[in-house]
Chain A
């Protein structure tokens, strides 16, 4: 399973990769290799983290055709969308990515939710909640164990809240639709 988190520096993109990777490798006992690519800028530059989760040892450390793309900026969406696997899952931040054509994808206003919760810096954790619920690459339990270890202690509660926010958003979405989120087959070129 190849996952790419992409956006701007400062959005917690790399941290997201580490959290999911840690959950998968330490608590779910799989192999997980996380790699990052970023420009020199601390914030605002294009930034992406690449996570590979597998049952066996990972040899090639980079993502080539991701199964899941999480795009938290327009630039990231445009740059990495063409590489998404044909039936891959695309998750975007509703406010930050504008799609020219509609298509099958999952969208969550993560940054807006984070701002509502009090700090835009936790937008990535909202996204992770949504991601966990949607893809089930990692278990909820593993994520809930990992998050407190991965953030400063004074922010643990806020981060868990953010995770739930994202997680619940997805489950509500399912409820409203009445079926699990279906991944629509090869229409990737449409958007």
Chain B
């Protein structure tokens, strides 16, 4: 297919913005998060952590959409993402609206 359908409510959707948290000293430098981040947010750093490994570093923070794949793939519970505070407000509001709608529909 050579065209993409543009969602009719594209203007209403706000792409979520995520924030990456890394506990460097828990990391064993396996590189799963860097390799499989779909939006190329991370890269390996040069520094050594306390265990002598190279932990990841956030390269393109603006690219993160809080998909949580790094968090799921990390075997060492060292990385996770959260919604950026401003997005959180929006999503809370949105979910409240959704709930309202759902109630009306039922």
Q: Do chains A and B touch in the complex (CB under 8 A)?
A: yes
Residues on A lying within 8 angstroms of B by beta carbon are 7-8, 11, 43-44, 72-75, 93, 95-96, 111
Q: Give chain A nearest CB distance to B65 CB in angstroms.
A: 32
Collect the chain A residues with CB atoms within 8 Å of residue B48's CB: 95-96, 111
A191 to B43, CA, bound (A): 36
Collect the chain A residues with CB atoms within 8 Å of residue B50's CB: 73-75
A74 to B50, CA, bound (A): 7
Contact residue among A8, A93, A95 (Cβ-Cβ distance under 8 Å from B51): A8
Collect the chain B residues with CB atoms within 8 Å of residue A7's CB: 52
Q: Give chain B nearest CB distance to A67 CB in angstroms.
A: 25
20 interchain pairs, CB-CB under 8 A? A7-B52, A8-B51, A8-B52, A11-B52, A43-B28, A44-B28, A44-B51, A72-B52, A73-B50, A73-B51, A73-B52, A74-B50, A75-B50, A93-B52, A95-B48, A95-B52, A96-B48, A96-B52, A111-B48, A111-B52
Q: Give chain B nearest CB distance to A81 CB in angstroms.
A: 16
Collect the chain A residues with CB atoms within 8 Å of residue B28's CB: 43-44
Which single residue of chain B is at the shortest CB-CB distance from A93?
A: B52
Which single residue of chain B is at the shortest CB-CB distance from A111?
A: B52
Q: Give chain A nearest CB distance to B31 CB in angstroms.
A: 14
Collect the chain A residues with CB atoms within 8 Å of residue B51's CB: 8, 44, 73
Q: Which of B39-56 contact A (CB under 8 A)?
A: 48, 50-52
A73 to B28, CA, bound (A): 14
**Could you count the A-B residue pairs with CB atoms below 8 Å apart for me: how many are there?**
20
Collect the chain B residues with CB atoms within 8 Å of residue A96's CB: 48, 52
Collect the chain B residues with CB atoms within 8 Å of residue A75's CB: 50
Which single residue of chain A is at the shortest CB-CB distance from B76?
A: A44
Which single residue of chain B is at the shortest CB-CB distance from A112?
A: B48
Collect the chain B residues with CB atoms within 8 Å of residue A44's CB: 28, 51
A44 to B28, CA, bound (A): 8
Q: Which of B28, B51, B52 has the most CB of A within 10 A?
A: B52
Collect the chain B residues with CB atoms within 8 Å of residue A43's CB: 28
A73 to B48, CA, bound (A): 11
A75 to B28, CA, bound (A): 15
Q: Give chain A nearest CB distance to B38 CB in angstroms.
A: 28
Collect the chain B residues with CB atoms within 8 Å of residue A74's CB: 50
**CB 8 Å contact bits of B48-82 with A (1 = contact, 0 = none):** 10111000000000000000000000000000000
Collect the chain B residues with CB atoms within 8 Å of residue A8's CB: 51-52
A45 to B91, CA, bound (A): 43
A95 to B50, CA, bound (A): 10
Which single residue of chain A is at the shortest CB-CB distance from B48?
A: A95
Which single residue of chain A is at the shortest CB-CB distance from B52?
A: A96
A11 to B51, CA, bound (A): 11
Q: Give chain B nearest CB distance to A61 CB in angstroms.
A: 28
